[in-house]
Amino acid sequence: MTRVKNKTALITGGSRGIGAATAKLLIENGATVIITDILDDEGRALANEIHAEYYHLNVTKEDEFAKVFKMVNDKYGRLDILFNNAGIITSNQFFYNMDHTEIDRTMQVNTVAHLHVTRSFLPAMIQQKSGHIINISSAAGFIPNPRLSVYCASKHAISGWSESLRLELESMNGDFHVTTVTPAYIDTGMFAGVRSPLIPIAKPEVAARSIIKGVLKNKVYVRIPGIVYIAPFFKGILPVRWADFLVGKVFGFAKSMDEFKGRNTK
Rg for the chain, CA atoms, rounded: 18
- 8 Å CB contact between 130 and 78: no
Q: Which amino acid would we find at residue 176?
A: F
**Side chain identity, residue 189:** G
* Helices and strands (DSSP H and E) totals, the chain: 9, 7
Amino acid, res. 10:
L
151 is catalytic: yes
In 10 A of CB 60, how many CB atoms?
Answer: 16
Candidates 151, 185, 221, 229; catalytic one: 151
Residues ≥6 apart with Cβ < 8 Å to 135? 84, 114, 158, 159, 161, 162, 178, 179, 180, 181
d(CA 114, CA 181): 13
Residues with a catalytic annotation lie at 151
